[in-house]
Structure 1
Amino acid sequence: MANLVRSAKSGSSWGMNELIAFNIEVIDVNAQTFFGNAILPQLTLSPVILDNLEEPAGPLHKADMDFFAYMEDAMIIPPGEESLVDDFAAFVLKMMRYDEGRRVIHLRKEMGFEMCGQRVDAKTDVCVMERSGTGAKYLLLVQEDKRHLSRDDPEPQLIAEAIAAFYENNRARKAAGLPKLPSRTFAGITMIGTAPTFYKIPVTDELLISLATSQYPTQVTTVTKLVPPVPFPERLANDGMKPLVNRRIILQCFDAFRQFLN
C-alpha cells in the first residue's frame, strides 16, 4: 500500500482510499466486545418515551414532547436538503446526560489537521466537548449519513474528524504549556435518520506524522464499530428508533457508550 497516491483532502472528502492509504481498518464487533459487557444497562428514562410508539395525548413534560417531535423530524429526509438528524442527535445526547459536569454539546464545529504538507479542514455535525482550565477538548463526534444528498460514506469522514479532534486537543495542550498526548481513543457516532452506529476510534501521534508527511504507517489503526443489536438489523436504517424494541436497545447503547467519554 506504500505506493498509493496520497493527497491533502478535507475531512468531508475522505473516502475508502484515505483509509487504505493510511493503514486504517474498521471492524464490526458485538456488544460484549465493544462495551465489555453483553448485558446492556437498565434505563431510567421517562416511560412516556419508552412505552409509546408515538406521542400520546394529554399533558406531557416538555422533554417527552420534544423527544417525539425531534424523532419525527429526523426521520423525514427532505429531497435535496440536509435533514434534521443533527438536532435529534444533540437532543438524545443531552437526554442521555452526555453534557454532565463541564461537558457541552456543540453543532457544526470546525477543526483542522495536517495532511500531505497542508492544513485541511474537518467539520463535525455534533460534538461533545469538555471545558477545563486548559481549554475545551473534544470527547465525542457525530457525523450524519448524508447519502441522500451524495454518495459519500460517513465512516471515513467521522475518522477524519477524530484525527482533527486529536490534533486540536494537542494543540490546546501545547498552548497551555502541557505535553502532547501520544494517543487517544475517541467516541464516534454516525447517524442515518434516528439509527446510530457507534465507533471507538484510536488516534496516535504516529498516525498524525504519517498523515502530515504522506507516509504509509507501519502500524495499523483499528477502529471498532457496533451496530445496535436490534432484532432486525437489516431494517435499522429505515426503522431507527420508531419500533419500541429498537428504541429501548438503541438508548441502552447510548447509555453504555457514555463510559468512553474519558
Structure 2
Amino acid sequence: MSTFLRTAKSASDWTNSELSAYNIAFDDMSPNDFFPPFEPSVDHLDPAILSSPPGDTNSAISDAAASYLGYLSLVTRATDHNFVVDFAAETLKLLGFNEPCTTVVTRYSVPLSICGEENHVAQADVSLIHNNPNVVLMVLVQDKSTPSNRCNAGAQVVAAACITINGTVPTFYLVPVTTELGTAVATGRYPNSPTVVSKCAIAAAHVGMKDIEYRRIAFKRLLAFKTLAKSHWLPQSERV
C-alpha cells in the first residue's frame, strides 16, 4: 500500500516490510511446476563426484573429483560462511555455468538505486556475469538467516538473488523485475501492479548434499535452473 514507509536500504537489510511496500509476493511452486518438463542428465559428471563421500581420500579418484569433494567436506563440517560461498561457486563451475563469455565470480556488489539514493548494493556471494560488456545474468546469495529472522530471508532474495543456498541446500527464484518495479524501488513509490516471485524449495535430508541421493537431485535441479534462467537472460545478453 502507498502508506508503507519506504527508506533507502541495501539488499541485506530488506525485510518483509519492503515486500509489502513494493507490492511483492511469493508463489511457492513444486519442482514439477517450476522447472522445464525434461530432467537433465548428470551422467557426464565424474562418477566419483556423484557417489563418493565428502573428502574421499581414495587415491584412485581424479584430482578434479578430489578437489570438489574436498570443498563439500569443508562446507559440511565447518561453520565459516566463506566455505559455503566457495562451495557454491565450485558447484556452478562443475555444472558448466561458466560457459564461453560468462564467468562465475564471488563476492560481487551489484549497485542499486533505492528511494533516490544510488550508494546502495546487493551483495551477491556468487554471480554469473556476461563478459562483454559486464551484465549480471544470475546471482546466488547464502541464506544466513536464523530461526528468529527466517521470515526476512525471502525479502533479501527479492532484492539480491535468483538462488539462495543454506549450507548445501539450494532454493530457486524467478524474479520478474519489471520497469514499473524498478522505477518504484528507485523512486520510493508504490507500484500499482503486483510482482509475484516464483519460488521452488527442494526437500532435503538434513545433511544436504552430503547425502549421495540428494546430491544427484540437487545437481539435476541446478542444471534445470540453468536452462530455465537462460530463457530469461539470453534476450538481455544478446541485446548488449
Alignment of 1:150-229 (within 5 A): 151=149, 153-161=152-160, 188-228=162-202
Alignment of 1:22-171 (within 5 A): 22-37=22-37, 39-43=38-42, 44-54=44-54, 55=56, 57-78=58-79, 81-119=80-118, 120-132=120-132, 135-147=133-145, 151=149, 153-161=152-160
Deviation per residue, 1:76-121 (Å, 9 max, x gap): 342xx53410000000000000001110011111122221121222
* Residues 150 and 84 of structure 1: CA distance in aligned 2, closer, same or farther (over 3 Å): farther
C-alpha deviation, 1:75, in angstroms: 1.9
2:217 aligned partner = 249
* SS of aligned partner of 1:216: coil
C-alpha deviation, 1:51, in angstroms: 1.8
Distance in 2 separating the partners of 1:109 and 1:28 = 28
Structure 2: stretches of 5+ with no match in the other structure: 235-240
TM-score w.r.t. length of structure 2: 0.87
Identity of aligned pairs, percent?
A: 31
C-alpha deviation, 1:154, in angstroms: 3.3
Distance in 2 separating the partners of 1:24 and 1:49 = 39
Deviation per residue, 1:217-259 (Å, 9 max, x gap): 111111111112xxxx2x54x3211111101110001111111
* Residues 138 and 149 of structure 1: CA distance in aligned 2, closer, same or farther (over 3 Å): farther
* SS of aligned partner of 1:75: helix
Deviation per residue, 1:168-201 (Å, 9 max, x gap): xxxxxxxxxxxxxxxxxxxx11011111111111
* SS of aligned partner of 2:9: coil
C-alpha deviation, 1:60, in angstroms: 2.1
* SS of aligned partner of 2:3: coil
Matched letter for residue 25 of structure 1: A
Tell me if the contact between 1:109 and 1:126 (Cα under 8 Å) persists in the aligned partners: yes
Tell me if the contact between 1:23 and 1:219 (Cα under 8 Å) persists in the aligned partners: yes
Structure 1: stretches of 5+ with no match in the other structure: 163-187
* SS of aligned partner of 1:101: coil
- Structure 1 runs of 4+ aligned residues shifted over 3 Å read 148-154
Q: For this pair of structures, how many residues does the alignment match?
A: 226
| Structural RMSD (CA) | 1.9
TM-score w.r.t. length of structure 1: 0.80
Distance in 1 separating the partners of 2:144 and 2:92 = 20
